[in-house]
Amino acid sequence: MAVGGTKVNPKKFEKGQIPLYLYLIPVAIFMGAPIIYIFNHAFKPMDELYAFPPKFFVNHPSLINFQNLMQTAAGSSIPISRYIFNSLVVTIGVVFLSVMISTMAGFALSKMKFKLNKPIFEVNNLALMFVATAVTIPRYLTISFVGILDTYWAHILPLIAMPVCLFLIKQFIDQVPNSLLEAAQLEGANAFTIYRKIIIPMVKPAIATGAILSFQAVWNNVETSNLFTSSEGIRTLSFYMNTLSGVGTVQGQGMAAAAALIMFIPNLLLFVIMQSNVMNTMAHSGLK
């Protein structure tokens, strides 16, 4: 296929692609600069961390920031393994429940007809406008009323509602042909069977995207440990890293850089592994 004499997605490099590369390469450099900076900043020794003017790249890489971080963690009354365990429990719980709820709700809103179908979806879209800070007090009052303060559920329940995850999955489910579902119904399949055997396999890219969004929301979350828990033994790794980064005046900056890299790597790896699913979801979520 050719547009204006230039092939779309040619197998080999063509001169007509030069303007595209001239545009995309600077954009890619601009988008990748923060990632490169995070890696460089974590390995800077103290003199480079406090250099003026600040330097983007590290000249003499060092592991001193990570060593200071581990030494400080070793002196804590609660081992770091406990915080890692708490983060894993909370992250797995939030990702699983948010994806399950979003897929079930998306299936109902997309393929089932009932009176409040559209109003409920509009309420979900309206929730996209609110930042977490705006609902902090209602969340605290709700969690206190339910009686789950200082428990794992205090970490999990506030984060399982993911309006953006429901929006993307619902829009993706809209692409599933109604004729396919009608054929399954004629074969005697009930709603749960259709959801499990047809919807879930066909919306795997959207599920992967929702899982990434949920993971990012919970893995880097500090507010739940700050606001809803008082026991150190129930708090998460992100909270612990945030606490360590404030230790001292000079070493604290280096430990903050090392902690930021440690918390960032899982997000980067998860996105790299699932990036094709994310692109597929974004391409189809707005289509009808």
- For residue 158, what is the DSSP state? G
The two structure tokens encoding residue 260: 């930021």
Do 139 and 260 have their domain in common? yes
Helix (H) or strand (E) holding 27: helix 18-42
Residue 287 backbone zone (phi > 0: left; psi -120 to 50: alpha; other: beta): beta
Do 208 and 162 have their domain in common? yes
Taking each helix axis as running N to C, give the angle between helix 117-127 and helix 163-173, from 0 to 180 degrees, rounded to the nearest 10.
Answer: 140
- Report the b/e string of 158-173 with b at 16+ CB within 10 A: bbbbbbbbbbbbbbbb
The pLDDT mean for the chain works out to 82
Do 84 and 44 have their domain in common? no
% the chain with pLDDT above 90: 7
Do 203 and 259 have their domain in common? yes
* Alpha-carbon span 272 to 278, nearest angstrom: 10
Instruction: Report which of 230, 254, 225, 228 is spatially closest to residue 240, judged by C-alpha positions.
Output: 225
Do 121 and 181 have their domain in common? yes
Do 36 and 179 have their domain in common? no
**Is 71 among the domain residues?**
no
Biggest CA–CA distance in the chain, Å, is: 72
**Is 7 among the domain residues?**
no
pLDDT at position 109 over 50: yes
- Residue 92 — very low, low, confident or very high, per pLDDT cuts 50/70/90? very high
The two structure tokens encoding residue 226: 């700050």
Q: In angstroms, what CA-CA distances link 191 with 107, 108, 131, 176, 206?
A: 9, 9, 34, 15, 20
Do 28 and 159 have their domain in common? no
Q: Using one digit for the tens of pLDDT, what is the confidence trace for 140-179?
A: 898 889 888 888 898 898 888 888 888 888 888 888 888 8
Instruction: Report which of 33, 32, 6, 2 is spatially closest to residue 19, judged by C-alpha positions.
Output: 6
Lowest mean pLDDT among 46-50, 108-112, 225-229, 279-283: 279-283
* Alpha-carbon span 279 to 263, nearest angstrom: 24
Q: Which of 5, 33, 62 is the last residue of a domain?
A: 62
Do 135 and 45 have their domain in common? no
The predicted model scores a pTM of 0.79
Q: Using one digit for the tens of pLDDT, what is the confidence trace for 186-213?
A: 888 888 888 888 888 888 888 888 888 8
- Sign (positive or negative) of CA dihedral 23, 24, 26, 30: positive
State whether residue 6 is helix, strand or coil.
Answer: strand
Do 55 and 83 have their domain in common? no
The two structure tokens encoding residue 145: 């009323």
Do 41 and 137 have their domain in common? no
**Is 168 among the domain residues?**
yes
Q: What is the mean pLDDT of residues 84-91?
A: 91
* Alpha-carbon span 26 to 258, nearest angstrom: 28
**Is 86 among the domain residues?**
yes
Chain length of the chain: 288
* Cβ contact 88:150 at 8 Å: no
Within 13 Å of residue 16, how many CA atoms lie on the same side as its CB?
A: 11
Do 194 and 254 have their domain in common? yes
- Sign (positive or negative) of CA dihedral 214, 220, 223, 225: positive
Range of the domain at 135: 77-284
* Cβ contact 89:152 at 8 Å: yes
* Alpha-carbon span 22 to 10, nearest angstrom: 17
- Residue 90 — very low, low, confident or very high, per pLDDT cuts 50/70/90? very high
Do 48 and 115 have their domain in common? no
**Structural domains counted in the chain:** 2
pLDDT of residue 97: 93
